Amino acid sequence: MAELSVITPIEYLKGVGPQKADVLKKELQLFTIGDLLQYYPFRYIDRTQFHKIRQLHPEMMGAQVLGRLISLQEVGEKRSRRLVGQFRDDTGSIELVWFQSITWLKKSLNVGAAYIIYGKPTEFNGQISLTHPEMELYNTQEKKIGNMTMQPVYSSTEKLKKFNLDTKGIQRLQQTALETVYRSLHESLPDYIIHEHQLMPYAQAMLAIHFPQNTQDLNAAIRRLKFEELFFIQLRLLRNKQLNIQKYRGHRFDKVGDKFNTFFNERLPFPLTNAQKRVVKEIRIDTNTGAQMNRLVQGDVGSGKTVVALMSMLLAIDNGYQACMMAPTEILAQQHYAGITALLGEEICTVKLLTGSTPAKERRIIHQQLEEGTLDILIGTHALIEDKVKFKNIGFVVIDEQHRFGVEQRAKLWRKNIIPPHMLVMTATPIPRTLAMTMYGDLDISVIDELPAGRKPIKTVHFFENQRLRVFGFMREEISKGRQIYVVYPLIKESEKMDLLYLEAGLENLQREFPLPHYKISIVHGKMPVKDKDFEMQRFVKGETQIMVATTVIEVGVNVPNASVMIIENSERFGLSQLHQLRGRVGRGAEQSFCILMSGNKLSKEGKTRLETMVRTSDGFEIAEVDLQLRGPGDISGTQQSGVLEMKIANLAADQAILTEARNRVIDIFKTDPQLLLEKNKMLGQYLSQRSPGISWDKIS
């Protein structure tokens, strides 16, 4: 039989066979022996540490207890159906609770038997319980490999368990896999890197990650594998950036002309902030290199990204090109159009708006003017990327709130000219540095980290339900000063019906407190027909209503400078970046603005941290950082569509130091050996050339 290696299909591994192979492929996407080896434990149980039931408390992350399962009972019906077990040791008893796999568990658990269980203690009504604990029969505990004290835990699924592939079963496979291919595991990093970064050799790390002898051993293995994963991601990203520069010739904007200067000297109503100046300069330098620019501008709500975009577009026009700006919603596009035409005045250049609701006749005129080159700036929604929209010579594209657009839509804009236009992507959702280095590692990043002078910071407070009367009083006061108020409710798919009921109840309450004809209330939620939504929104924008009751549909962009109070109901249910975005809807005018976070009395630890963070700071970057720590990178807005973040072991929230180390190393390599021709870097070049070109990496912008 030919020698097995990491690329051998998994069914050839002893103990697997076609059926198990099939379920491993379907459930875990493990196709080869190498895939299996890269299916790392998600946790380790320190087998030397046991707790007594009396010692358990809800602050513990997890605890291992030896005791006996005394009873097992199914209770509740339908959605509240659950399996409850009583578990006891010599110090007391606790409840074990399962909501899933009930039938399977009832069959497989032995009432009366001794178990080693592991789970996170939680408290309910003063009673400690463990939900979905791991259960292991005490007396059949397997002989351990080596004198392992850190026992790996692999995540499994109900289907896998039917094939005996629970955590133990997977561990057995890992052992076979390692025994089979250990000798053929090749080092993936050059010697000098292993040496200088003090990394554990590859094969040794693979062994230690699955069968650690001690904590130190394990930590070294984890560090090595994280470094490797992040290193190769950065190697691919930075190589791509390098290729982009070589591949895509860009339009050269080599002069600052009349339009830019006229605008700057005669029209600009305020001095630019230093951050704005810096970013405009970065863009000017970038667009004069002869290579295509791909730049991400991050700047908090209200930091003045629009004017930066506008000045960049004027630069393009001065150099004989057209420019366009795409926004994710009609309302935003309208506001950009209104804002930009107001800033520009009539003289400097021609600007038009194109959205889904532009009448056919107007559309035809726009199409024609674009092709003739008599239209300089086009602002709009998705309507911009339709194939019918052809430019005479587009040189600059601005995309606002990029995370709302898919990769494909952005790519379409690239193709609007033979030489792709420069791309400026703007986002008001700051992304922590580590995330940006990975998600946008092949883009250049500008940061507007300064708000225009004279902005009054928004005052943020957290109130509980019993302070509602005070809130009503405050609302009345603000309205009497002529201000407008947002009241936002969560509307979450999973609990949509309940949420709509809450919203309606809240609305009724408000209507009682703020009755017609003196007060008028707008209501906007995602379940309304678009027409009604726009109508209600417009009433509020025009100041015809004083209160806007809404769901998060108002999250992005809308600008009503006269609205100075943002009340967020059930604020504990919102994510941090969402809260920050919502708060950014106020504080846009000259008045002192307020954000009131309403919540129930019962707050989870995480919910509490979120609200405290909001009260403490209005710095979007700081908030993004806390968000990343709380939720992990997968849930940060905008990352979902980016395959870049599917990592096997590294975690961008926790591994900033290793990431920086790996990235700096890669930067250094490309600096000294851009073509990877040096003998010591040859294996890196081979790695890159083996990877199929064109997977997602180069399409991020």
Residue (416 or 588) nearer to ligand ADP, CB:
588
Whose Cβ is closer to ligand ADP: residue 305's or residue 382's? 305
The alpha helices in 584-681, defined as continuous H runs, are 605-616, 620-631, 656-672
SS3 (DSSP) at 17: helix
CB atoms within 10 A of CB 91: 13
Shortest spacing between CB 452 and ligand ADP, in angstroms: 3
Sign of CA dihedral 120, 123, 128, 132: negative
Q: List Cβ neighbours of 683 (8 Å cut-off, separation of 6 or more).
A: 188, 189, 190
Q: Where along the sequence are the contacts to ligand ADP (CB under 6 A)?
A: 270, 272-273, 276, 299, 301-307, 428, 452
Rounded to a whole number of angstroms, the minimum distance from the CB of residue 337 to ligand ADP is: 13
Count of C-beta atoms within a 10 Å radius of residue 588 = 19
User: Is 416 or 583 the residue whose CB approaches ligand ADP more closely?
Assistant: 583
Least distance from ligand ADP to the Cβ atom of residue 440, Å: 18
**By beta-carbon distance, which residue lies closest to ligand ADP?**
304
Question: Please, which residue, 226 or 404, has the CB nearer to ligand ADP?
Answer: 404
Which C-beta is closer to ligand ADP: that of 304 or that of 328? 304
Q: Report the alpha-carbon distance of residue 274 to residue 50 in Å, rounded.
A: 58
E strands, 80-178, are 82-89, 92-98, 114-119, 121-124, 127-131, 134-137, 150-153
Q: Which is nearer to ligand ADP, 180 or 276 (CB)?
A: 276
- Work out how close the CB of 328 gets to ligand ADP at its nearest, in angstroms, rounded to a whole number: 13
Q: What's the closest the beta carbon of residue 276 comes to ligand ADP, in angstroms?
A: 6
Q: Mind giving me the DSSP string for 674-697?
A: TT--SGGGHHHHHHHHHSPTTSGG
Nearer to ligand ADP, 383 or 428 (CB): 428
Which is closer to ligand ADP, CB of 302 or CB of 420? 302
* Token reading at 214: 């001690």
Q: In this complex, which beta carbon is closest to ligand ADP, that of residue 299 or of residue 328?
A: 299
Least distance CB 403 / ligand ADP (angstroms)? 14
Decide: 644 and 637 in contact? Cβ < 8 Å: no
What percent helix, strand, coil does the chain show, rounded to 5?
A: 45, 20, 35
User: Minimum distance between the CB of residue 453 and ligand ADP, rounded to whole angstroms?
Assistant: 7
Instruction: Tell me the closest approach of the beta carbon of residue 354 to ligand ADP, in angstroms.
Output: 20
Asked if 558 and 537 count as a contact pair (C-beta separation under 8 A), the reply is: yes
Is 381 exposed, middle or buried (CB count within 10 Å of its CB: 0-12, 13-18, 19+)?
buried
SS3 289: coil
Smallest CA-to-CA distance from 657 within 223, 70, 182, 148 is with 223
Tell me the closest approach of the beta carbon of residue 543 to ligand ADP, in angstroms.
17
